[in-house]
Amino acid sequence: MTTMPATTTAVAAALDLPAVDRWHRPLVVVAAAMGVLALVTGVLALVDQREILGQIAWLKPLKFAISLALYAITMAWMLGQLRRWRRAADIAGTVTAVAILAEIVVITGAAAVGTTSHFNVTTPLNGALWGIMGASIATLWIAGLLVAIALAVNPMPDRARTLAVRAGIGIGLVGMAIAFLMTGPTQAQLADFQGIAGAHAVGVADGGAGLPFLGWSTEGGDLRVPHFVGMHALQLLPLGLLGLELAGRRIRVLGDPRVRLELVAVAALAMVALLALLTLQALAGQPVVAPAGPFLAAGVALVVATLGATTVVLVRGRARSAPTLATVHA
């Protein structure tokens, strides 16, 4: 029987994390499998230079393996927090694990044979596989909603962690739902249907110039950007809060639970605003690397507002934690 390293155990105890044996095991197994797949497809991307829509074929399963590994392990940890509704949430977690496997098998298989997995209905087989992917995506979303409901009735050790977990999965569900905006055929596809119904890009065809590795369009809008940001709020908010808890052991102001709660609230609101901004920018056909007009102004305003709110929280928290003159004399 393996045990956690002493340092890891000490950190887990300090942060009041659930024991590893409480984590949802099927999701932990899936996360490990995605990690292995990421290594395999990473090697294949180096040795097999075939391209699909302008990108090396194996990069898509590599990106999905990394993303799904993060999603699975975060959900496994969140399920380990539950005290009530645990059985129903465990079932939702197992369904999530199966849906992840179904989706990644289709994506990896398509890369292996040199074709696209998303939006591809060029043949009955491809249409059936795309249908399986669509069903798995919908299943992931519904299962995530059930877990979100379970988390809503299970408070965490403190209010900041409760907010981080609930906001993370709530924003994550919105980010996942953005994927459904990609599934309708574009006007160009309807005018000359070639068996592709749906697109990641807006205003330009998929497969044009894009960011290295990520592939996000640098010529038009791309709905993968808000989809990615929203989904990974699921990790960013809880992990950011755990980082604040660790830092609070050395930095007095961050040791104040109220300060951590307010910082998480600022981060969650900023994430919601960013998700909305990126979605509108993508739908307007503007590339993420070149915001212009109202989108650029809104982005600058969001950064300024977030930094300002963070500063206010820290200054107020420091003032509360500073000893008063009467306390010093006493």
State the DSSP string of 165-223. HHHHHHHHHHHHHGGGGGSSPPHHHHHT--SB---SEESS-TTSSB-TTT--BSSSEET
Q: What's the pLDDT at 126?
A: 86
Q: What's the pLDDT at 194?
A: 82
- Whether residue 328 is contained in a domain is answered as no
List, in sequence order, the alpha helices (H) in the chain: 6-14, 25-47, 59-79, 86-113, 124-152, 159-177, 187-191, 224-231, 233-247, 257-283, 294-321, 325-329
Using CA atoms, how far residue 292 sits from 219, 228, 230, 285, 297, in Å, is 13, 21, 22, 11, 8
Distance CA 37, CA 30 (A): 10
Q: Is the dihedral of CA 172, 126, 183, 141 positive or negative?
A: negative
Q: What's the pLDDT at 190?
A: 83
Q: What's the pLDDT at 2?
A: 40
- Whether residue 330 is contained in a domain is answered as no
Q: What's the pLDDT at 322?
A: 67
Nearest CA to 137 out of 175, 164, 87 is that of 175
What is the rounded average pLDDT for all residues in the chain?
Answer: 87
Number of domains making up the chain: 1
Contacts of 27 (CB under 8 A, 6+ apart): 72, 73, 75, 76, 79, 93, 96, 97
- Whether residue 170 is contained in a domain is answered as yes
Instruction: List pLDDT tens digits, range 289-305.
Output: 999 999 999 999 999 99
Query: Could you tell me the residue range of the domain that residue 201 belongs to?
Result: 18-322
The SS3 call for residue 79 is: helix
- Whether residue 123 is contained in a domain is answered as yes
CA 10 to centroid of chain Cα atoms: 28
What single DSSP character describes residue 120?
B
- Whether residue 329 is contained in a domain is answered as no
Tokens linked to 36 = 């292995």
Q: What's the pLDDT at 183?
A: 86
Q: What's the pLDDT at 121?
A: 87
Q: What's the pLDDT at 324?
A: 45
- Whether residue 149 is contained in a domain is answered as yes
- Whether residue 315 is contained in a domain is answered as yes
Instruction: List pLDDT tens digits, range 208-231.
Output: 888 888 889 999 999 999 999 999
Nearest CA to 74 out of 249, 247, 241 is that of 241
Other C-beta atoms within 10 Å of 301: how many? Answer: 12
Tokens linked to 311 = 């500063």
Q: What's the pLDDT at 187?
A: 83
Q: At what angle do helices 59-79 and 124-152 cross, to 10 degrees?
A: 30
- Whether residue 12 is contained in a domain is answered as no
Q: Which residues of the chain carry a pLDDT beneath 70?
A: 1-21, 322-330
**Beta strands 221-222 and 201-202: pairing type?**
antiparallel
